[in-house]
């Protein structure tokens, strides 16, 4: 619960946005706070579900800057949360803090969707924010069809640094799936797609044109490793994998001005 307090405090920036009125059902309680999830209709977009979560504090707290004498203590805050139901992930897109419990009283701190903030830039495992119950309540009504298919991918092409433009052209295109990005402490998990311009023969018998690698990126130590890999017969991995297995799992240092540095920057950006 304390980690969630810190995360929400980082998101609360001065701006204005109206709060959607909601009714609440309790999901958990502790010595510090009681959590609720909205019972209002949930917005579903594919396998993404959007709702509101209320945290009721047992004691008033200054959420953003305890040294700021102008900030009033808050007794509750309401955040808009998106749950990625297929991958059990969550992200907070906006939040408000209130002077009274249950989202009542005056607004003490106000935020809007802040895509620069790391909280809304990538998905977090729901267990990291102790949101498993809120996740279950929100995603329980999503059509079962979506759980029988792979999640939608948001492929972003990774361009090689202009400072390496004099190097020979690589006969492949690299993409990262932004919808797979999940961060835990200093490690980001993200999927990479390698798209070949021409078919390639491997194992003396398998012809393929694309591969998906499940990467782990160590943001503090500037290193990357591949955990899983699958190769596919067509571009963009549209068809079923021909071969899949465990990656090398060996950490490789990120060299300056390399394609790995571009991957590192996208994965670790806030």
C-alpha span between 113 and 109 (Å, rounded): 14
H-type alpha helices, 118-220 = 118-121, 132-139
Residues in CB range of 199: below 8 A, 6 or more apart: 207, 208, 209
Find out whether 142 and 85 touch, Cβ atoms under 8 Å: yes
pLDDT at 19 over 50: no
C-alpha span between 1 and 112 (Å, rounded): 22
Residues in CB range of 230: below 8 A, 6 or more apart: 211, 212, 237, 241, 243, 244, 245
Three-state SS at 132: helix
- Best mean pLDDT range from 45-49, 62-66, 196-200: 196-200
Chain-centroid distance, C-alpha 148: 21
Measured in residues, the chain has a length of 270
Determine the average pLDDT of the residues in 167-175: 72
Determine the average pLDDT of the residues in 71-81: 88
106 vs 179, more confident: 106
Tokens of 259: 């394609």
Among residues 218, 216, 217, 208, which one has the least CA distance to residue 244? 208
Tell me the pLDDT band of 8, cut-offs 50, 70 and 90. Answer: low
pTM of the model: 0.49
Percent of the chain clearing pLDDT 70 (strictly above): 77
144 burial via Cβ count (<10 Å: 0-12, 13-18, 19+): exposed
Among residues 193, 201, 177, which one has the least CA distance to residue 236? 193
Strand partners, 117: none
Please tell me the number of Cα atoms within 13 Å of 99 on its side-chain side.
6
Q: Which domains does the chain have, with CATH numbers?
A: 2-148 (2.40.128), 155-268 (2.40.128.710)
C-alpha span between 254 and 237 (Å, rounded): 26
C-alpha span between 264 and 270 (Å, rounded): 12
pLDDT tens, residue by residue, 213-229: 999 999 999 999 999 99
Strand partners, 192: 176, 213
- Best mean pLDDT range from 33-47, 140-154, 157-171, 242-256: 242-256
DSSP 62-93: --S-TT-TTSPPEEEEEEEEEEETTTTEEEEE
pLDDT tens, residue by residue, 98-156: 989 999 998 888 775 444 444 555 688 887 788 888 888 888 766 544 455 555 677 77
Strand partners, 50: 43, 82
Rg of the chain over Cα atoms, rounded to whole angstroms, equals 22
C-alpha span between 65 and 67 (Å, rounded): 5
């Amino acid at each position: 619960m304390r980690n969630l307090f810190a995360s929400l405090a980082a998101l609360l920036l001065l701006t204005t946005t109206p709060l959607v009125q909601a009714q609440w059902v309790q999901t958990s309680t502790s010595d510090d706070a009681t959590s609720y999830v909205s019972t209002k209709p949930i917005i579903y977009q594919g396998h993404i579900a959007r709702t509101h979560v209320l945290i009721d504090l047992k004691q008033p707290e200054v959420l953003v800057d305890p040294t700021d004498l102008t900030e009033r203590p808050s007794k509750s805050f309401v955040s808009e949360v998106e749950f990625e139901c297929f991958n059990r992930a969550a992200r907070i897109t906006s939040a408000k803090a209130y002077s009274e419990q249950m989202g009542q009283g005056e607004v003490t701190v106000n935020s809007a969707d802040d895509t620069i903030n790391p909280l809304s830039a990538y998905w977090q495992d729901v267990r990291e924010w102790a949101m498993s119950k809120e996740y279950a309540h929100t995603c329980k009504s999503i059509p079962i069809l979506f759980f029988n298919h792979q999640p939608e991918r948001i492929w972003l092409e990774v361009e090689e640094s202009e400072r390496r433009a004099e190097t020979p052209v690589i006969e492949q295109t690299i993409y990262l799936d932004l919808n797979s990005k999940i961060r835990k402490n200093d490690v980001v998990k993200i999927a990479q797609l390698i798209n070949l311009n021409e078919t390639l023969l491997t194992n003396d018998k398998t012809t393929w044109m694309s591969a998906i690698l499940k990467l782990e990126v160590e943001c503090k130590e500037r290193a990357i490793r591949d955990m899983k890999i699958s190769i596919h017969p067509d571009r963009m991995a549209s068809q079923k994998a021909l071969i899949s297995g465990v990656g090398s799992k060996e950490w490789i240092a990120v060299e300056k001005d390399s394609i790995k540095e571009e991957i590192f920057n996208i994965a670790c950006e806030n």
